[in-house]
Amino acid sequence: MDMQIRPRRLRYGEALRKMVRETRMDQSSLIYPIFVKEGSGIVEEIPTMPGQYRYSIDTMGRKLEALIDAGVSSVMFFGIPDHKDEIGSGAYAEDGIIQKALQKAAKEYPQLYRITDVCMCEYTSHGHCGVLCGQEVDNDKTLELLAKTALSHVQAGADMVAPSDMMDGRVAAIRNMLDQNGYCTTPIMSYAVKYASAFYGPFRDAAGSAPSFGDRKSYQMDYHNSREGIKEALLDVAEGADIIMVKPAMSYLDMVTKIRDTVQVPVAAYSVSGEYAMIKAAASLGYIDEEKIICETAASAFRAGCDIYLTYYAQEIAQYIQEGKIG
């Protein structure tokens, strides 16, 4: 058959396929989310996330060392406090769980890039992401506490802060607070395009952060909307966000692409707990090849346009990159 153009020519042989690959990944683009809780000697498996654990400060080092050995250089810390109250005071306490974890990590693992989730939901007795006024979250009163929390994290050793609360104006409030206190070079990675998603279920089990009443649909985005996500991203960039995040990743790759085409800052995608749990569950039943699915879902996020990938599989993906199975 006479054909001048044969796309298959570039698919013969692994070396050629890698040479012409359009999407490439690097270990430095991976961020691992770690859960740290009060107490000692704790390595506690999360029932809804097999293979993921809650660590106390004295045991988190074993995971941090494993990540470093695999080539993962960035970690996002999530805190699980013993005490919760109406205003989430543990989020910005000098001796809070995140603050203590940062101090230890900065001292013992200075090569790690330390990022913190900035939100109130893990610290409030009601589980919502801000201060309540009746049954509603008071947006503007929450901003002050988010800014205080971000500042306390940076003072304790955070290299970057990542507000996930979805309050209007929180990036500007945090940027102003950091700048006024001499931290003008500390970047903000904003959970700008964060949807009200059922994919968060296992995380809320892991962090004990499920709301005690109602839901978060008045501040997290409606998953039917895409133009609204672009508006959120542009507003956060205008307020000083240095990186824009889309969350979740798997079902929102269209948003990763749209945000990538809209903003002139790096784009992150968070492969959330529900995505992890689904892969683990299907793999445990023998329905899928876990390693291949991990690689394929990661590649799809980068193909969609993300520069940074937050994933509970960061260690495995880093190893697969090193082994040439992906990337």
Q: Which of 148, 247, 258, 280 is catalytic?
A: 247
Token pair of 97 as six digits: 């769980």
Three-state DSSP class for residue 9? helix
Distance CA 5, CA 26 (A): 32
CB 188 within 8 A of CB 180: no
Q: In which element (H, E) is residue 80 found?
A: strand 74-80
Q: Which of 194, 258, 280, 325 is catalytic?
A: 194
Q: What is the CA radius of gyration of the chain?
A: 20
Residue 232's nearest CA partner among 139, 167, 161, 290 is: 167
**Is 247 considered catalytic here?**
yes
CB 269 within 8 A of CB 193: no
Q: Is 142 exposed, middle or buried (0-12, 13-18, 19+ CB in 10 A)?
A: buried
**Is 231 considered catalytic here?**
no
Annotated active-site positions, please? Answer: 194, 247
